[in-house]
Amino acid sequence: MIVEGIPVAKPNNLFRQARMRVPSPDFAGEHATRQELAELVNAWVYANTDPPRTIDVTADYVGQLERGRFWWPQDPDRRAGLRAVLSVETDAELGFHRPRRPDRAAATVDDVDRKEFLRASLGIGVGALARSSLAAFLTPARPVATPNTVTRDHIDEILTAYQIFRQWDNQHGGGVRALVELWPPNWSTAAR
């Protein structure tokens, strides 16, 4: 979903509805709060892993899942705990889905050579690359055709790239390495 040009997470109603079906362990007739769900999942993972494993699901994390901030909990034990406590068989029943991955099969020899060149250049002299125009080094070997009409698929490609870079930045600190790993660009970068 996009609000005023900014990507906004779509709420995960399946996950929230599943939480609302879980009875509160503390208050009869009430549904589990986010905190109660977090504690139940943490306890389930501890009791069902060998050796017992401690994880830290919090009420804030549960809220982020409900708001759609995360669409795929990375930890398989965490997903298993959520499925067990919420009484579902599959991740899809909780609205979880793996993020789309770029089509690696479309890479060419030119693309691989460019990536290897950039990796070597970055290892030798990041400063030299930073002072020069990085865009010149990352220009595709073949011209990229710009479409006449921008469709929803094109917008989804840009949003997917945004999410990939954001996730990369959160996990690894972002920067030039993310560009090298995710290159070559699609048409959306040709309109610079």
Q: Supply the CATH number for residue 78's domain.
A: 1.10.260
80 and 52 together in one domain: yes
Q: Distances from the Cα of 153 to the Cαs of 36, 87, 115, in angstroms?
A: 40, 35, 26
**pLDDT at residue 18 is higher than 70:** yes
What is the reported pLDDT for 31? 96
Final residue of a domain: which of 94, 120, 136?
Answer: 94
Using one digit for the tens of pLDDT, what is the confidence trace for 135-150?
A: 555 556 666 667 677 7
Burial class (CB in 10 A: 0-12, 13-18, 19+), 65: buried
What is the domain count for the chain? 2
Tell me, yes or no, whether 59 and 110 share the same domain.
no
Do 59 and 27 lie in one domain? The reply is yes
Q: How far apart are CA 177 and CA 175, in angstroms?
A: 6
Q: What is the pTM of this model?
A: 0.51
Among residues 32, 59, 94, the one where a domain terminates is: 94
| Residues 6, 90 share a domain | yes
For 88-138, write each residue's pLDDT tens digit: 999 999 999 887 765 555 555 555 555 565 555 555 555 444 445 555 555
What pLDDT is attached to residue 42?
96
Looking at per-residue pLDDT, the higher value among 50 and 128 belongs to 50
Residues 113 and 153 reside in one and the same domain: yes
> Which of 35, 62, 94 lies at the terminal end of a domain, its last residue?
94
The pLDDT value recorded for residue 159 is 79
pLDDT number for residue 16? 96
Computed over every residue of the chain, the mean pLDDT equals 76
Residue 99 located in a structural domain: no
- Spatial distance between the Cα atoms of 55 and 41, rounded to a whole number of angstroms: 9
pLDDT confidence of residue 154: 75
Would you place residue 12 in the very low, low, confident or very high pLDDT band (cuts 50, 70, 90)? very high
7 and 90: one domain? yes
- Listed in order, strand segments (DSSP E) in the chain are 2-3, 6-7
Decide if pLDDT at 162 tops 70: yes
The confidence score (pLDDT) of residue 131 equals 46
Residue 18 CB coordination number (10 Å): 22
The whole domain housing 145 covers 104-189
Residues 150, 80 share a domain? no
The proportion of the chain whose per-residue pLDDT surpasses 70, expressed as a percent, equals 58
